[in-house]
Amino acid sequence: MSIFREYDIRGIVPGELNEETVTKIGFALAGKIDGEYVAVGYDARMHSPELFGYLAAGLNAGGKTVLAMDLVPTPVNYFANYQSFEGKTPSASVMITGSHNPSEYNGFKITVAKAPFFGEQIYALGDEVAAMGLPPKAETRIIEVDVKARYIDYMVEQFSHLKGMKEKIVYDCGNGAAGVVVPEIFSRLELDARGLYVDPDGTFPNHHPDPSVEKNLADVKAALAAEGDIAFAYDGDADRIAVLTKKYNIKGDQMALLFSMGMENPTVIGEVKCSQVMYDTLKARGATPVMYKTGHSNLKVKIKELNADLACEVSGHVFFNDRYFGYDDAIYGTLRMLELVHEGIDLDAELDKLPPVFSTEEIKVETTEQEKFPLMAKLGEMLQNPPADFPAISEIITVDGVRVIFENGWGLVRASNTTPVLVTRFESPDLEDAKRYEKALNDLIAEAKKALNE
């Protein structure tokens, strides 16, 4: 059951994801989908084509016909939900991907009726899979569709005004799925672009495909310093992006501030980990900022619910509902960032205008799957009556974990939905205050742990 997670299904191949399990997942999922056609694509991992075969067999056994995309980035998979192929319109899509996990992992990101399939839906699917026997054998019904070419054509058409931009672009595909679309888009737009690790290779021989980890950006930073004006890096399935100038590694909440510049009074959704600077700056500009839960599935649902223009996570998931379909797409985000540059916006100068703050990266506190939610409940209880020497609390926001607003900054503690850890982050305009808030909340977490175990 551990493979059935809040936002997707993910596990080790073949120990957790094998022929029996994956076929059952396909069969059970077929029962949740109205309509005949399910679009399925996969990432660059060595076992992805094998898992495709197992999943397709399960979907076929459940009465579905598979529209096979082969190797594509996750955003291309999402894009398929808005297309029709000679009258064959997908009612759902499944992306076979381990995202930024190590190469032995793989998994499934599921979209049903253009909405993410997640949370209780995934847990209920897991219960069903655990209880069922092997599905019946069925006739193979797989139709090849070229979603990749249609996606590339769409991007080239939407961004034709960027043709011949003079800026020198460096990009790092990390041997992931981005490599099957980004070079052709850049080439057809006649951009001066140099790619690193473009060829898909599921062993990820050059570096781990996670651009939110600084060490994975070393090569693209070196190339940017030597011969570039702007750089981009993608995770394994290209739904997360890193944007780099020679001065800044631009985080997702900073990207939201840049992207929203060209929108009139936009509604912008941020996760609870986003900087207060983002929320305050958006409000000062006349935008409507909304704080919401972490998680790409949560944000996709919220952006549609509010008909918001934009949403972001600090880690580089950026969701465009303005001129796009409301899902996270690092390739589309690349082109929107280049559009800003093309329009004459100096990215560094805009970021220089923001008030300086000291922000920690995500700091993880080890716990267990069984303990993490009771620990959060105990912490919330203790924050209602904190120790006498605890920094003064102005407000507690509980949209996702606890975001404690202090007099000169904030601290966040939330239970990860995917791993046995609490995730913390701290921010203040004053470094000493940021450290003080970090120590105070960590001490209280330790006290809550102790109280739980007594």
419 pLDDT band, cuts 50/70/90, is: confident
pLDDT at residue 55, rounded to an integer: 98
The set of catalytic residues is: 10, 99, 317
pLDDT at residue 417, rounded to an integer: 82
Is the Cβ–Cβ distance between 110 and 6 less than 8 Å?
A: no
Give, as one character, the DSSP assignment of residue 362. Answer: -
262 pLDDT band, cuts 50/70/90, is: confident
On the question of pLDDT at 126 being above 80, the answer is yes
> Mind listing the domains of the chain with CATH numbers?
9-145 (3.40.120.10), 150-352 (3.40.120.10), 358-453 (3.30.310.50)
61 pLDDT band, cuts 50/70/90, is: very high
pLDDT at residue 280, rounded to an integer: 97
On the question of pLDDT at 223 being above 80, the answer is yes
Q: Where do runs of H (alpha helix) occur along 91-171?
A: 120-131, 147-158
On the question of pLDDT at 418 being above 80, the answer is no
State the Cα–Cα distance between residues 400 and 379, nearest whole angstrom: 13
pLDDT at residue 52, rounded to an integer: 98
Strands (E), 298-386: 310-312, 318-320, 358-359, 363-366
Which SS3 state, helix, strand or coil, does residue 142 take?
A: strand
**pTM confidence score:** 0.95
On the question of pLDDT at 388 being above 90, the answer is yes
pLDDT tens for each residue of 270-294: 999 999 999 999 999 999 999 999 9
Q: What is the mean pLDDT of residues 56-66?
A: 98
Q: Where do runs of H (alpha helix) occur along 343-391?
A: 347-352, 372-383
On the question of pLDDT at 324 being above 90, the answer is yes
**Token output for 199:** 């060829």
The interaxial angle of helices 252-259 and 276-284, nearest 10 deg, is 10
> Could you check whether the bond before residue 200 is cis, i.e. omega within 30 degrees of 0?
no
What residue type is assigned to position 378 of the chain?
A: K
433 pLDDT band, cuts 50/70/90, is: very high
Q: What is the mean pLDDT of residues 287-314?
A: 97
pLDDT tens for each residue of 145-193: 999 999 999 999 999 999 999 999 999 999 999 999 999 999 999 999 9
Tell me what the pLDDT averaged over the chain comes to: 96
On the question of pLDDT at 135 being above 90, the answer is yes
Question: To which residue do tokens 């959060």 refer?
Answer: 376
Short-list 267, 273, 266, 241, CA closest to 255: 241
State the Cα–Cα distance between residues 327 and 320, nearest whole angstrom: 6
Is the Cβ–Cβ distance between 316 and 240 less than 8 Å?
A: yes
Alpha carbon of residue 375 to chain centroid: 26
Short-list 35, 92, 21, 23, CA closest to 61: 23
219 pLDDT band, cuts 50/70/90, is: very high
